Structure 1
């Protein structure tokens, strides 16, 4: 997950109110539960010291939530009397999470909204394509491209003039495949998708695939289901898209864990990966984190660290933070501090499972926090 969309959370000081809530069912009993959950969340914020203006902003945002708009729930981030950001969840939280803290509470967001890859679906026919972005926010229009419309249909005649016409038809197909591939590559670069799914015409679809740049083709899959024509969507297409997203996400985590296992420090060699809060804090200060690995439930996530106003002012001890130029450092959770540092340095973040599908390596990374680094370095002698 890239955290660039969360930048507003790091552009202003806290403290922050963070509330993860499930809007319950759209019926009378659900409405009563929503009312009680809003009241409980606001009471918790008040008990933890939140100011009245911020509590009221959270209350208003939660009251306006509906199961129809947010079927899996939503997270609210508020500070200084304003709701700074809210984000739709793709999975409902098992329980309501309420926090009043110096930094926004982000780890639950990684689990509930951030891990699912964003998919760019291209609905292709022989005249063009429509693009649709699939992510946690639901389907979104991502543009279209129109190629040449004539001629696009061949005839069954073997007459010389007809064969000449058929050649022109095939030239049109080839031209349109080029145009679709170029437009699709541009859309992929602009929208920040993680993978591409091609659906539609069985002849034009593979022609588009072959014309994609290598970097795009490596994250592209094809499906025989669905198409560009109105009404051609189907449950089979929806299943194909979701399977592609799941496989991509699983493969990405496995590749990252393989790199992490191979890159951890040996006794006498440079390291490409680190784990444990002290090593991660050092890497964050030096902007060396390329991918932050977070294993929910790990004991290091809630470990105390100290931070200053700048995201790279992070330390294991209060006195260390003061030497970085922060006279009044603040104690925060390690995961909150490292996620803020990762976000402002454009690092990626991956949630890793407590164990793989075979039950191996349940403690990788040790403590629940690790990182792949942007460059190797010699580990500091103990």
Structure 2
């Protein structure tokens, strides 16, 4: 996640109320339960000295959101005296609980950690005629959330199913069928290139018909082949099959998240060896103030010392934020990969 995406929040004057509402399973009384949860959080903020104008702005934002299935979704809201500065979905790990705090800087640590853990999967359900391509975001312990779906139909007009029997005419028909399937696969992959350039997936998952998967796999460029996972689950529309595919997508997301964190820890160690790293709140803060931080590193379940200040300062210079593997044990829970060496 690039922290510049949050700069508009930090540019507003503090103090801020930061509210986290955990996502819960849909229920008939979900709307009322969310209202009661917010009332408790509102009282907590009031006792902390929150401005009434900020609380009223949060009242209005939540009242507008509590409709349909929306109340089942987790969310984060940030408000100051002038109004709501951030209202976003928050796919926190189940059991995290609600939270609310009034302080000089917004409390965005949990929000950026969730973003860092979330995995973007490009799921391709293939046939010999084309494919359905879904863009999914999978947060820890949550069902996949679909961002967009596209049906891609290949341009080949020939039949893609091969005839039975021998004979010269059957051979010609079979070659044309192979060529049609290959052309359709090329069309799918061309669209995948464009979708991928915007979506920036962590993983490409290829499902569906065996022949369709084979044809698409053969056309994939290296940048998509490098993130490819293939599965024979799903693709036939059956409920059990779709459930099996979802389980596979969740497993791929978990493996990808663990791999990314492990890779980031290795990059951290390499940066340390080349004097392009900092750790500890004081050293990272100094590097951030100099604009030297390329990636701010946090630990998954440990709040860093001066975390809110470090997130704000790094947002000013468009630093990224990411998580290291559990057990890395950064000094004060924070480290940084630097753009250039800094003398501390």
Show CA shifts across 1:55-84 (max 9, x none): 012123345447943546221122312353
- 1:46 aligned partner: 46
- 2:117 aligned partner: 115
Whether the aligned pair in 2 keeps the contact of 1:74 and 1:89 (CA below 8 Å) is yes
Which stretches in structure 2 are left out of the alignment for 5+ residues? none
1:372 corresponds to 2:337:
yes
Whether the aligned pair in 1 keeps the contact of 2:22 and 2:74 (CA below 8 Å) is yes
1:5-24 matched pairs, under 5 angstroms: 5-22=5-22
1:151 corresponds to 2:159:
yes
Show CA shifts across 1:226-249 (max 9, x none): 22x544752211111111111111
Please report how far the alpha carbon of residue 28 of structure 1 lies from its aligned counterpart in structure 2 after TM superposition. Answer: 7.9
- 1:311 aligned partner: none
Whether the aligned pair in 2 keeps the contact of 1:20 and 1:75 (CA below 8 Å) is yes
Q: CA RMSD in A?
A: 2.8
What is the CA–CA distance in structure 2 between the aligned matches of 1:245 and 1:140, rounded to whole Å? 16
Cα distance change, pair 241–291 in 1 and its aligned pair in 2 (3 A): same
Whether the aligned pair in 2 keeps the contact of 1:294 and 1:349 (CA below 8 Å) is yes
What is the CA–CA distance in structure 1 between the aligned matches of 2:212 and 2:26, rounded to whole Å? 44
The structure whose RCO (Cα within 8 Å, separation 6+) is larger is 2
Cα distance change, pair 174–32 in 1 and its aligned pair in 2 (3 A): closer
Cα distance change, pair 204–247 in 1 and its aligned pair in 2 (3 A): same
- 1:55 aligned partner: 55
What is the CA–CA distance in structure 2 between the aligned matches of 1:37 and 1:44, rounded to whole Å? 11
Whether the aligned pair in 1 keeps the contact of 2:265 and 2:325 (CA below 8 Å) is no
Please report how far the alpha carbon of residue 290 of structure 1 lies from its aligned counterpart in structure 2 after TM superposition. Answer: 2.5
**Match 1:141 to one of 138, 144, 148:** 148
What is the CA–CA distance in structure 2 between the aligned matches of 1:272 and 1:23, rounded to whole Å? 39
Please report how far the alpha carbon of residue 45 of structure 1 lies from its aligned counterpart in structure 2 after TM superposition. Answer: 2.2
Show CA shifts across 1:34-72 (max 9, x none): 444322221222233332222012123345447943546
- 1:244 aligned partner: 252
**Match 1:176 to one of 174, 184, 191:** 184
What is the CA–CA distance in structure 2 between the aligned matches of 1:288 and 1:342, rounded to whole Å? 9
Cα distance change, pair 238–203 in 1 and its aligned pair in 2 (3 A): same
1:208 corresponds to 2:216:
yes
Please report how far the alpha carbon of residue 220 of structure 1 lies from its aligned counterpart in structure 2 after TM superposition. Answer: 1.8
Please report how far the alpha carbon of residue 175 of structure 1 lies from its aligned counterpart in structure 2 after TM superposition. Answer: 1.0
1:194 corresponds to 2:202:
yes
Deviates more, 1:138-147 or 1:166-175: 138-147
- 1:306 aligned partner: none
- 1:281 aligned partner: 285
1:102 corresponds to 2:67:
no
1:336 corresponds to 2:308:
yes
Please report how far the alpha carbon of residue 352 of structure 1 lies from its aligned counterpart in structure 2 after TM superposition. Answer: 3.2
Show CA shifts across 1:207-257 (max 9, x none): 322322212221121111122x54475221111111111111100110111
Which stretches in structure 1 are left out of the alignment for 5+ residues? 303-333, 356-360
Q: TM-score, normalised by structure 2?
A: 0.85
- 2:127 aligned partner: 125
Please report how far the alpha carbon of residue 271 of structure 1 lies from its aligned counterpart in structure 2 after TM superposition. Answer: 0.9
SS at match of 1:283: helix
- 1:349 aligned partner: 321
Whether the aligned pair in 1 keeps the contact of 2:10 and 2:312 (CA below 8 Å) is yes
SS at match of 1:78: strand
1:82-101 matched pairs, under 5 angstroms: 82=84, 84-92=86-94, 94-101=96-103
Cα distance change, pair 200–346 in 1 and its aligned pair in 2 (3 A): farther
SS at match of 2:37: helix
